[in-house]
Each structure stands twice: as structure tokens, then as C-alpha cells.
Amino acid sequence: MTTIAEILLEHYKCKAKTSTGKKQQTQLPSGLKSVDDIVTFIVDISDDCNCSVCLLIHNIDGPALRDPDSQQHLSRVLCCSCICLVASIDHVNAPLLWDKKMVYTQFKWFWHHVPTFVPYKVEGLFNPLILFSSGHVQTTKTALVVLQSLTPNAQSVFRVLAEFQLANEKEEGMHVSEVYTKCREQFLVSSQVTLNAHLTEFKDHKLVKIRRHSDGQDCLHIPLPMNALEKLLQELV
Amino acid sequence: MAKHQSSPESASSQDANSQDANHTLEPFFVLHKAQPQATVVEKVSRSGKGRKKGTKSSPKSPEKSKRTTSDEQPSNTLYEQWRFKAFNEIWSLIQSNIEGVLRDINLKLFNEVLQWVEDSFSEIKSNVKLSSSEIQQPYPLVADTLFRKIPTAFVLTKNAEFVDDIQTFCDLGSHLKSNRCHVANMSALDFSLKYGIGGSVRSLLRQLHSEPLDGKIADMFTLAKWYCENNNKPIVVMIDDMECCNADVLGNFIAMLSEWVMKIPIFFIMGVATTIEAPKNMLPSDALQHLDPCKLTLGTPSDRMNSLVESVLVEVCYCFSLGHEVSVFLRNYFLRHDGTITSFISALKLACSKHFSLESVSFLCLCMLDQDSEERWSEKFVYLPESMKRCILNLHSCKREKNLQGDVGSIIQLLSDLKASQRCWSSVVLCLFEVARHSKMQFLDIFCEATDPEVYCMNNSDNSSKEHFKCRDKNSTERSSSGVASLTRVIHTIREMPVAALSNLLDKWNNHTEEMTEINEEIEKLQSLLASVNEGKVYEENLHNIRNRKSLSVLSGKGNSPNEKVAMLLDAMIRKYMKSIECMTLHEIICFRDVDVLRSALIGDPRKTIQLDLLKCHSYLSCSCCSSDAKSLSPSMHDTSIMYKLAQEYGDVINLYEWYQSFKTVLSSASHTPRKRGRPSPASKKAKPSPASETEALIQARFCGAVTELQISGLLHMPTKRRPDFIQRIAFGL
């Protein structure tokens, strides 16, 4: 998104330079902090640009782009008349990513059938190997679905654990006693029994694992990679 | 979003092509950056040749035509430019018709809304007069419950497919803005639980502020401050699809704005798709009590479609038209597949673009836009290259014309006939539409029948016209008998119309047939006849005073009622003038008929296409090592194709071990059978003689790779914990 904005800004400034004779800076405005701000900037500046940007997206229906936010941001950017998109899809249910508004008024798709039979080297990089799954790995999506079905207090307890794990990457896990102390400070649990009930639920859903710490005590660990855990916390509003 | 490369020099296609591409995969890079505008302008000015070439893009230009000898022919690129230009012009015409029609349909509603906003705003302004400082203070709160109500218009769209109404709300916003209103178009995304009420306020401010917020806090104080600088206009907040909003966020937004409504006059316009009771069912009661509702209703989708068909497909049919099969496909696509006018318009645009990209002579349709046709065509066609003239004469419709001379004059005459025929066809179809309005018929059904060449052939006793057209499919007889159902119903409607409605109908027919003198005269006679009937005179007495005419006179028959006579006139018009475009010579210039191309571009259907690709890989790879038989398995086939074909033998779950053994058997048969020498296939490169363990490992690796590819395609599901040795199939059948 930022690169698209910079390209458009560069052309816009060049056009302004041609008319005014002064060189302009090509840095994006500093107020653009979120993706929404960048998308709005692109939509606003595209009216004044007489250039076009062609976006090529390989495997637009891949796991990295399947979340609704990514598709929404892409569809909003493609409302600009100066941006066009060519994308490849490989999944049989790819059209389910888009609603009718996105299909007809934003993306405005039309189809070309171009089978290549080239091996899925790039596409396979982001897919978990179907035959090598240990069965114990929780994906972010599955964890989110489970967490959303729990009570807000249980979610907060999980958040405490996740934040500790993110802040202390090298630690093997958080001690049960530390979890209890932090939860009591935040009024999330009133007794060890309550906390144990939450932890049992987490263990049943494979959200949390118990490890033996080097000091001999049990500690709790969330079996998710760091970036997946960060994303999970963001989704868990 | 993915990480990006801000420096184009650091990311190059060379890295992507290197052997380490898998390990140094960059999620995003700039492939090519266009040169800045100034540099391009300088280059063009230096090379005058380039600039001259750029101006010679139109067949109207005489300078290049004079220099072009019979040996020099315009390149394909030039023809593409002409066709592209023609597409832009034609589509602009169609697009402006569409926008005009949709705007006119909603104009009454737009004026109602504007009137309501102005009246409510006047009432608020007359009751409350506040200074700028008072506006910016949240306190004192307005205590009177009545005055805390926000005027709200619930617009009932009566359309489950909201995408059709997005443009309506945009047009409404433009209409209000042009009539001194501040307008903010908000959608369900602005009222999502994720961003909460802060996101809603931010979105509102972003639309009202002409400058970016740039770090300003998005809250009501900012809005109040902005309003002090831009007051004396109402603020209209349009929420196009209210039912898709999060009820809590929308409720809080309403409650918050209600605190400020007397200081910042805000009006809501909310689109409701289902019933008018939906807001009551959806919004919390404390939010509902802050709304002062009124109800408005949009036109129905069928009315809009009828208007579109009339103004887009019929009135401009002389420069772009659809063949019968394409018309039927689009009608079925609208009625059974999608149901939105937006999709219909997209399909029409796609058909138009395909026509101009596939038909080499399609650029000539621009001639149809000229008012003084024949004189200007003569000037242009003289300079048309020989190759293009040959192309025109090689059109299928020209080849079936027996006595066609190959000169420019004949081509011009045929074009002129085509244009005249289309105008007559258009007039007759518009007359049919006028009747269809009475019986609330769908114009699209009539349009499809009017484009059917078999209907014309059936109605004409001329055998030569029947020879020109052959039946397209086996069910043509069935289609012919049902294909005239709408036309029959139209004729029947006329027979049952009251005299007053009939008179009104004839007035409209008079307008549509201004250029058709013969028809016009008959209509005038019928109008006088109806006038006599209205005055109470016996209509038989007037028949004696009317001259007989051979061609279209329907008044000679004694004893016919006026309704019958009008029906007979319409029937005669249909027989004589409603000639399908596909029966005309040179129709390929303006008529798009390739329904298969349109269908494949419009409906991707990846679920079916991907499975077919795997089952019939040989038809795409066209290798000599594999059998062309779709059912046979050979080791040289693509691994994923082999696996998918083997998977067809299983039910909803596939035993991994058995599947692997079957795959191994297929591949192992390569070592026992001599391989054909021919075009190398991917499998052939892998099947090298190797020790048994390496072969086993290779087969396992290929098996896993193929399973992964099937998973990426969405045809398989990961094994469950209960049955780890079985993979679940997801897609079945085509």
C-alpha cells in the first residue's frame, strides 16, 4: 500500500514540478499511520494523477491474503480508476472471498482461464504441509474461534499469558503462580480454583501447554509462533 | 499487508529467476516504474516522427490516407487503436444513457428527500439560534426529548441485493451536495465492532473535512469546530445498508449525535433492504427514541431493468447490439444467476469490450454515429485499405449475400440499410414496450424475442430469408413455439385495452415511429377512428371514407373493433420491420454474438474449471507422451492429475496408504513399458534410472507434492485427529 502511495505521489509531484518548476518532496505525509489512512490518501491523490499503477498479485486467494481486512483494503484501493489489478487464483472456492459489492463495483473481475501446470512452489510456501501436521499445532484462526467462545474473563487470562510470552520470547513459559498473581492484580480471578478452571479449559482446547521449567516448576506455554500470537491478540478485541 | 520494497533497485527480477528464489522470496517488489511525465514529453518533442505517428490514429484523417499507397497498410496496432477508440466512444454513450436512466428513475425520490431536509432544517434553524461558542460546548445538554430527535429518512430499497443501490445513494449524495447540503456517505464498514464508535466518527469527519485530519482528534468537538466554519447547511449522514451495521455501534453513534443535534443539525438517511420494521427490530430502544423517522421507497428493480433495456439495448442498437443467444444468456444470468442490475451492466460492458477486441471490423460502428451517413462514409471509405475491404467482404453475412458487388458503394449501401433496419426495429420494439407497460411484462423477455432471427423467419413467408438462417440447436422448434410467447401476450393485451388507454398508446406510438411514414399514417388513421368512437359515432360509417392500402392497411376489414385493428397494425409492424439484426448483412460490425467467450469471461467457475483441468490435462499440455483418452492413466502425466484421477475412485475419504500405493503403481509402470520419444513432459525428466531406495523416496516426495497441490486447490482437507490416515475430499462432481 505504501509503495503504491509513493509511486502515485511521485507522479503527482512530478506533474506539480512541471507546472510550477519547483522540486517537491516525495515523502508521504506524516499523518498516515494506519492502512486506512494510506488507502484514503491513495484514493484522494489518484484523482489528480494521470498515471496508472498496475498491481500484479500472485495467488490472491493464498492464506496470507485470505483475511477479510486484506481483501477489503485491496478492494478499496481498486476503486481508484488509475489502479488496475491482475491476479491469479488457485483455489476452487476463491470467489467466496468477495461479496457482490467487491466483485462488481470495486474489483470488477473478469476471468481468463490460463492453466500452466507449473509446480506450486510459491503457493506452497505459505500452506501448512498437509501430511506433516502433528495434529497438535493450533492455527491462529482455530485458536481465535475457541477464544471467542469463552467468557471475557477467560479471554483476559489468556491475554495475560500471551503478553508475557510476547515480552519474554526466550523464556520457556510463565509459572502458574505468576499467572495467578497477575490475574488477581487485575481482578480476573478470585481464587486458584477459578484460575485452574480457566487453565483446564485452555488445555482441553490445546490453547496452552504445560512444560517443565528448568527450575523444576510447571510453566504454561502457548504453542503458537510469535507473529501468530500477536495477530491473535489483535483479533481478540 | 505484506512487507514492501521501497527501493526498486534493490529488488529485481533477476533474484526471482535465480535458483535460490524459494529461499529469497520477496513478497512485494516493483517490476517496472514508468518514466516521469516531463521526460516523456521531451522525448516525444525531439522525435517528430513519434508525434506525427500519434496523430494518425483515425480513419477520418485525410493526411495519412493520402500518403498511404495500396502497398502500405496500417499495422494491426493501428486497427487496435481504432477499435479501442470506438469502444470508448460507444461505451461512453451507453454509460451516459445508463446514468441518465437511473438518475431519472430516482429523481422524484431525490426531490422528496431534498424537500424533507430543507423543511426540517428550516424548522431547526427557526427554533434554535446559537453562537459559535455555544455550538462548540457540549453543555448545557438539550433536555427536551422532542428536540433531541434526529430527523431520519428510512429508504426502503425492496432489494435483497444491495449492490444495486450503492450508486443510488451516491447519486442522492451528489444531488444533495449540489443543493447546499454537507453529505457524508457511510457504510456498514464504518459501524463495525472492530473500530467501534471512534471509527464511525473518524469516517464522518474524514468525509466532511476537505483537508486531511493529520493528527487531529476525531471527536464531536472537532466536528463542532468544523461546523462553526461551515454552518448554514444541514449535515446529511447517509448509511447505505443499515442492516449490515453493528447494532450497538450504530446505536451509540445515534445516541451521541442526538446530544448535539440542536447545535449541529444532522439528518440521517438509512437504506433498509428488507422491511420497514427492520430498524425497530435491530436498533436498541434508547437509540430508536432519538430518531424522528419518515419512510421513503425506491423504485423496484424490475422497473429499473425495464428502463435500462429500453434506453440502452434498444435506443442505441444501431451502433452496438446483442445477438439472440447473448441476449438470452444475459437475461438468464440476470434472472437465475445473479439478479443485480450492476452485474447486468458489467456483463454488457464486457460484451462490448469483447466485441471490439475480437471483431476486426468493429471500429466501423463509429460510422453509425454520424448523422449524415452516406456522404461522409463515401469520403472515408475511399481511403480504407484493401485488406480491410477484403475483411469486410469476407464476413459471413456478406458471403451469404449472393449478388453482392465488392465495391465501396455496395458496402456503404449495406451499412445504410443496416442502420435503417435497426432504427425501424428499434421503433417497433419501443412500441411493444409501451404495450408491455400495461400488462407489467418484463422488457427483457420481449427484447430476447425481438432479437430472435427465427421469429422473423417464422413471421415472413419469404423463403429466401429462411434459407439464410439455419437452426442453431436441436431445440429450435421448441424455442420457436415458446419464443413468441411474450409477443403473443402483447397482442392479446392490446385486444383487451380500454379505448382511452388505446388512444394513449397510439399517441406514444406516433412519437416512436416519426421516421416511419407508412406506419405513422396508419397510426393517424387509427387515432381518428378512435376519436370518432369516443365521440359516439358508429365506426362503420367512417370505414367507407378511408382509402384501401395494400401494404399495411388494417382498416379495410369491416367489422373489426378498434382494438383488433391496432393489434393487426402491430402484428404487421412486427412482420415487416422487426427484422433481427442477425438476418442483416454486415451485422458483425455492430452485433456481438459470441456467447461462449462472454460466459467464460463472466463466470469463472473455478470449482468446475480446476477439476476439469486436472482431469483433462492432456488437452492443455498436448504432449505426445500421454494418451488423449481422458480416462486412462499414464506415468508421464502430471503428478497432480494422476492423483486426482485416482481420487475419483474413492468416496468422501481417501485412505492415504492405498492412494500412495495406487500412485506408486502408476509411476512404476514407466519402468516396465518403453517410453515414447517425443515432446518432453515434466514427468519424463524425473523418471531416471536410480536405486530402489531413491526411487521410493522420489515417489514419496512426488506423492506429497501432489497432495499439497490438491490441498492448495481446495480439493482436499487435512486429516482429522480421529482418522489421521484418511484425507477428506471436499469437491465432488462437476
Q: Please tell me the distance from the alpha carbon of residue B126 to that of residue B265, in angstroms, as a whole number.
A: 12
Per-residue pLDDT for A20 more than 60? no
pLDDT, residue B111, reads 92
CB-based contact A17 B338, cutoff 8 Å: no
Contacts of B25 in chain A (CB under 8 A): 122, 125
Mean pLDDT value of segment A72-101: 89
Higher pLDDT, B621 or B474: B621
Please, which residues 137-156 of chain A have a Cβ atom closer than 8 Å to chain B? none
> B293 near B152, Cβ under 8 Å?
yes
pLDDT, residue B130, reads 65
Mean pLDDT value of segment B53-65: 37
Number of DSSP helices (H) and strands (E) in chain A, helices first? 9, 5
Mean pLDDT value of segment B706-719: 88
- Residue A95 has which C-alpha cell? 470467489
B22, B193, B604: residue with CB nearest A121: B22
Answer whether the bond into residue B140 is a cis peptide, omega within 30°. Answer: yes
Please, which residues 68-97 of chain A have a Cβ atom closer than 8 Å to chain B? 70, 72-73, 89-95
Mean pLDDT rounded to a whole number for chain B: 78
CB-based contact A92 B713, cutoff 8 Å: yes
> A79 near B318, Cβ under 8 Å?
no
CA distance B30 to chain A (A): 8
A57-70 tens-digit pLDDT: 989 998 888 888 88
Q: Please tell me the distance from the alpha carbon of residue B412 to that of residue B415, in angstroms, as a whole number.
A: 5
CB-based contact A100 B711, cutoff 8 Å: no
B631-666 tens-digit pLDDT: 778 888 899 999 999 999 888 889 989 999 999 999
Mean pLDDT rounded to a whole number for chain A: 81
Contacts of B704 in chain A (CB under 8 A): 129, 131
Q: Please tell me the distance from the alpha carbon of residue B506 to that of residue B511, in angstroms, as a whole number.
A: 9
Q: Please tell me the distance from the alpha carbon of residue B156 to that of residue B275, in angstroms, as a whole number.
A: 7
- Asked if B500 and B634 sit in the same domain, the reply is no
Band (B593; pLDDT cuts 50, 70, 90): very high
**Beta strands A209-212 and A174-175: pairing type?**
unpaired
- Asked if B315 and B291 sit in the same domain, the reply is no
Contacts of B37 in chain A (CB under 8 A): 11, 14-15, 18, 50-51
Q: Please tell me the distance from the alpha carbon of residue B343 to that of residue B613, in angstroms, as a whole number.
A: 27
Contacts of A133 in chain B (CB under 8 A): 718-719
Mean pLDDT value of segment A161-174: 88
**What is the spatial order of strands in the sheet that B235-239 belongs to?**
B182-186, B235-239, B266-272, B150-156, B291-297
Residue B663 lies in a domain: yes
pLDDT, residue B358, reads 92
Residue B58 lies in a domain: no
- Residue A67 has which C-alpha cell? 483475511
Contacts for A214 with CB less than 8 Å, ≥ 6 apart: A172
- Residue B658: Cβ within 10 Å count: 14
B161, B343, B714: residue with CB nearest A91: B714
Residue B51 lies in a domain: no
pLDDT, residue A112, reads 92
> B554 near B562, Cβ under 8 Å?
no
B255-310 tens-digit pLDDT: 888 888 777 888 999 999 888 888 888 898 888 888 888 888 887 888 889 999 99
CATH number of the domain bearing residue B147: 3.40.50.300
For chain A, give the percent of residues with pLDDT over 90. Answer: 21
Among B279, B299, B319, give the residue marking a domain's end: B299
Per-residue pLDDT for B563 more than 80? yes
Band (B731; pLDDT cuts 50, 70, 90): confident
CB-based contact A108 B346, cutoff 8 Å: yes
- Asked if B347 and B493 sit in the same domain, the reply is yes
**Is A64 at the interface with chain B, CB within 8 A?**
yes
Return the minimum-mean-pLDDT range out of A22-36, A57-71, B434-448: A22-36
- Asked if B637 and B720 sit in the same domain, the reply is yes
Residue B729 in 3-state DSSP? Answer: strand
Print the domain residue range for B408.
304-514+571-589
Per-residue pLDDT for B99 more than 60? yes
- Asked if B327 and B213 sit in the same domain, the reply is no
Residue B321 lies in a domain: yes
- Asked if B338 and B419 sit in the same domain, the reply is yes
pLDDT, residue B426, reads 93
Residue B55 lies in a domain: no
> A32 near B57, Cβ under 8 Å?
no
The string of DSSP codes covering B148-215 is: GPEEEEEEE---S-THHHHHHHHHHHHHHHTTT-EEEEE-GGGG-TTTHHHHHHHHHHHHH-SS--TT
- Asked if B359 and B498 sit in the same domain, the reply is yes
Query: What domains does chain A contain, in order, with CATH numbers?
Result: 2-107 (no CATH), 128-232 (1.10.10.10)
Q: A–B: how many Cβ contacts below 8 A? A: 148
Per-residue pLDDT for B630 more than 70? no
Strands (DSSP E) found in A88-186: 174-175
- Residue B267 has which C-alpha cell? 439528518
CB-based contact B617 A89, cutoff 8 Å: no
Helix axis angle, B443-450 to B408-438, nearest 10°: 150
Find residue B154's DSSP bridge partners. Answer: B270, B295
- Asked if B577 and B715 sit in the same domain, the reply is no
pLDDT, residue B393, reads 85
> B90 near B66, Cβ under 8 Å?
no
CB-based contact B713 A100, cutoff 8 Å: no
B31, B620, B724: residue with CB nearest A135: B724
CA distance B725 to chain A (A): 9
DSSP H or E segment with residue A85: strand A83-87
**Beta strands B150-156 and B266-272: pairing type?**
parallel
CA distance B60 to chain A (A): 27
- Asked if B251 and B137 sit in the same domain, the reply is yes
CA distance A109 to chain B (A): 8
Band (B134; pLDDT cuts 50, 70, 90): low
- Residue B263 has which C-alpha cell? 447545535
pLDDT, residue B34, reads 66
Q: Please tell me the distance from the alpha carbon of residue B566 to that of residue B526, in angstroms, as a whole number.
A: 7
B2, B34, B730: residue with CB nearest A64: B2
Band (B143; pLDDT cuts 50, 70, 90): low
pLDDT, residue A98, reads 92
B37, B342, B603: residue with CB nearest A15: B37
- Asked if B350 and B294 sit in the same domain, the reply is no
Band (A152; pLDDT cuts 50, 70, 90): confident
DSSP H or E segment with residue B291: strand B291-297
Return the minimum-mean-pLDDT range out of B118-122, B156-160, B438-442: B156-160
CB-based contact A91 B721, cutoff 8 Å: no
Mean pLDDT value of segment B598-621: 89
B485-535 tens-digit pLDDT: 888 899 999 998 888 899 999 999 999 998 888 888 999 988 888 888 777
CA distance A68 to chain B (A): 11
Residue B552 lies in a domain: no
pLDDT, residue A16, reads 60
Per-residue pLDDT for B88 more than 70? yes
Residue B544 lies in a domain: no
Residue B703 lies in a domain: yes
Band (B548; pLDDT cuts 50, 70, 90): very low
**Verdict on whether the full-model pTM lies above 0.90:** no
pLDDT, residue B595, reads 94
B466-497 tens-digit pLDDT: 444 443 433 444 344 445 688 889 999 999 88
- Residue B17: Cβ within 10 Å count: 8
> B127 near B146, Cβ under 8 Å?
no
- Residue B55 has which C-alpha cell? 496523430
- Asked if B254 and B348 sit in the same domain, the reply is no
Higher pLDDT, B153 or B628: B153
CA distance B431 to chain A (A): 33
Q: Please tell me the distance from the alpha carbon of residue A16 to that of residue B436, in angstroms, as a whole number.
A: 56
pLDDT, residue B424, reads 92
pLDDT, residue B27, reads 60
CA distance A214 to chain B (A): 31
Q: Please tell me the distance from the alpha carbon of residue B32 to that of residue B9, in angstroms, as a whole number.
A: 10
**Backbone dihedral angles phi then psi of residue B424, each to the nearest 5 degrees:** -65, -45
Per-residue pLDDT for B64 more than 60? no
Q: Please tell me the distance from the alpha carbon of residue B154 to that of residue B186, in angstroms, as a whole number.
A: 15
Q: Please tell me the distance from the alpha carbon of residue B727 to that of residue B651, in angstroms, as a whole number.
A: 10
Mean pLDDT value of segment B410-438: 90
Q: Please tell me the distance from the alpha carbon of residue B635 to that of residue B672, in angstroms, as a whole number.
A: 11
- Asked if B342 and B395 sit in the same domain, the reply is yes
Q: Please tell me the distance from the alpha carbon of residue B84 to that of residue A23, in angstroms, as a whole number.
A: 36
Band (B447; pLDDT cuts 50, 70, 90): very high
CB-based contact B1 A95, cutoff 8 Å: no
| Nearest Cα residue to B267 out of B140, B158, B114, B128 | B114
- Residue B102: Cβ within 10 Å count: 21
0.95 surpassed by complex ipTM: no
| Nearest Cα residue to A174 out of A148, A202, A149 | A202
> B253 near B286, Cβ under 8 Å?
no
Q: Please tell me the distance from the alpha carbon of residue B190 to that of residue B198, in angstroms, as a whole number.
A: 9
**Is A131 at the interface with chain B, CB within 8 A?**
yes
pLDDT, residue B371, reads 66
Contacts of B350 in chain A (CB under 8 A): 110
**Is A119 at the interface with chain B, CB within 8 A?**
yes
pLDDT, residue B672, reads 46
A14, A31, A56: residue with CB nearest B38: A14
Total of domains in chain B: 3
CA distance A193 to chain B (A): 30
